[in-house]
Amino acid sequence: MNLRTFVLVTLLAFLFGLPGCMKADDSDVPGPGTTDNGSMAIDTNQPQPDTSQPPADTPAAIDTFQCPGVPGMKPIGAQCSHSCECGTDYCYDEGFNGGLKFCTRACEGGCEDPNNNDGTQKYQCLIFSNVHKETYGLTLMNICAPRCNNLEECKMLSSSYDACGTTSGWTEWMGKTVGVATCVVSSSFEE
């Protein structure tokens, strides 16, 4: 064998023999028993965003309240549990009538709707005194209440009503006349 053939054979053996002796770089290949779960490692050397405060454009909580009855259908004096039920959008829940919740609105002497008035007075503006405010912690000092001629008229608004006024032709509370006869829960007027 000449020197040239010897060098060529040695060189070929060396070249073909190298891959069998070399170790491949397998740093990116998972080892046995590991699986790629798609997660990425977090570089902790990088500054992380401040997550202690929510972003300014985070939407507010969604209000899921739904009015339990037909919204706005109940008249003044009707028993209610939420303001949305009342045509006046106010369900009174203070001391008058023993805490019976009923539809009403604030008034300044008159309660009739000027756009829907047939000439009869259906409602009375009850005017409370400072005695009522101090004793019951009232925040609304004048409210509209349904006028009545008899108990049956009141029962159409709530079965809780048991009287039309507290004395003949009047509604009195704590010895004070607050208006003409209106639908009341008489037990709340006993002293």
Q: What is the pLDDT along the chain (191 residues), one digit of tens a residue?
A: 566 665 555 655 555 555 554 455 555 555 555 555 555 555 556 656 566 655 555 556 665 678 877 889 999 999 999 999 999 999 999 999 988 999 999 998 788 876 666 767 899 999 999 999 999 999 999 999 999 999 999 999 999 999 999 887 899 888 888 889 999 998 887 65
51: left (phi over 0), alpha (psi -120 to 50) or beta: alpha
Q: Which pLDDT score is estimated for 61?
A: 62
- Identify the CA nearest to 146 among candidates 178, 99, 182: 182
CB 166 within 8 A of CB 178: no
- Identify the CA nearest to 102 among candidates 85, 125, 121: 85
Angle at 126 between CA 124 and CA 129, to 5 degrees: 165
Q: Domain residues for 135?
A: 83-111+120-189
In a domain, 30, yes or no: no
Q: Which pLDDT score is estimated for 52?
A: 61
At 155 the three-state DSSP class reads helix
In a domain, 40, yes or no: no
In a domain, 37, yes or no: no
CB 146 within 8 A of CB 170: no
Q: What is the pTM of this model?
A: 0.63
CB 75 within 8 A of CB 87: yes
- Looking at the structure of the chain, the number of domains it has is 1
In a domain, 63, yes or no: no
In a domain, 185, yes or no: yes
Render 10-76 in DSSP notation, one character per residue. HHHHHHHHHHHHSPP--TTS--TT----S-----TTSPPP--SS--TTPPPPPP----SS-TT-BPT
In a domain, 101, yes or no: yes
In a domain, 181, yes or no: yes
At 114 the three-state DSSP class reads coil
User: DSSP label at 160?
Assistant: T
* Residue 65 token pair: 């309240």
Buried b (16+ CB within 10 A) or exposed e, 26-47: eeeeeeeeeeeeeeeeeeeeee
CB 79 within 8 A of CB 101: yes
In a domain, 62, yes or no: no
User: DSSP label at 188?
Assistant: G
